[in-house]
Amino acid sequence: MSIIHRFENFPIIKLVKQKWHLRTEARAHQRSQRRWRSDEIAPHLTWDRMMTGDSLWNLYQGHHDFQVRDRILEVGPGYGRLFRTALQRKISFGSYTAVELSQARVDRLAAEFPLESVLFVQGDIENWSNERFFNVVLCSSTFEHLYPDCRRALQNIHRQLSSDAAVFIDFIYSTESLRYFEADETYIRMYSHDELIAIFNACGYAIATIEECILGEGNYGPVKRYVVVATPI
């Protein structure tokens, strides 16, 4: 038996290990957000091609009848792909709030869309909050980058939902559960179907359906996603 194993149940050793674990996790979390807090050219945010939000809006509109009373929250708007398509389609809403980690992207979006009842705000969806409740949540191509997984964000959003809310969040199309940092430091978290159901349920959501959706043509082919459609329990 090694010396470390012999003492591993001592309270002081347990405490040191716990502190070490917390510090390592905090560093990994910071690392996972470094890219997103910064700035980059728009196509890099969507598989090196500019895309529209058309296929997603087809799906959203199939599940929700958008009205002027809707208070929409978008998470991680990037270069405004979903919002631009919403305007082109003349989607009705009462307010549209988009929370984005990158201040540079928020500044650009606010300058491009200086519209009443539309707010682009810098924040982290894991802890950002607002005094208003939302009844629609949209999020594309973002939750796979949340470290170590999307629980904190789902719980934080849940606290800000009206009881009749519709939540649309898409994920990497995957049959397995995987997590890793890419060479450029991008954190990737893939969820299996069953894992998504378990996490959403544990965070207080009922999943209405999980649908496949092709977002568009990326540099390496069609981008296929799982879109989770959920409601708060």
Ligand X SMILES: C[S@@+](CC[C@H](N)C(=O)[O-])C[C@H]1O[C@@H](n2cnc3c(N)ncnc32)[C@H](O)[C@@H]1O
Q: Name the site residues for ligand X (rule: CB under 6 A).
A: 36, 45-46, 75-78, 81, 99-102, 105, 124-126, 140-142, 145-146
- Between 109 and 166, name the residue whose CB sits nearer to ligand X: 109
> How far apart are the C-alpha atoms of 157 and 71, rounded to whole Å?
13
Comparing C-alpha atoms, which of 137, 135, 94, 150 is closest to residue 229?
137
Residue type, 69: R
The nearest distance, CB 126 to ligand X, in angstroms, is 6
- Name the residue nearer to ligand X (CB basis): 105 or 189: 105
Distances (CA, A) of 188 to 23, 52, 75, 195: 20, 23, 17, 15
Q: Which amino acid is at 167?
A: V
Give the residue with the Cβ less far from ligand X, 81 or 158: 81
Q: Shortest Cβ distance from residue 103 to ligand X (Å)?
A: 10
Minimum separation from the CB atom of position 212 to ligand X (A): 16
Residue 54, both tokens? 């058309």
Which of 104, 206 has the CB closer to ligand X?
A: 104
Closest by CA position to 47, among listed 114, 138, 140, 118: 140
Shortest distance in whole angstroms from residue 4 CB to ligand X: 36
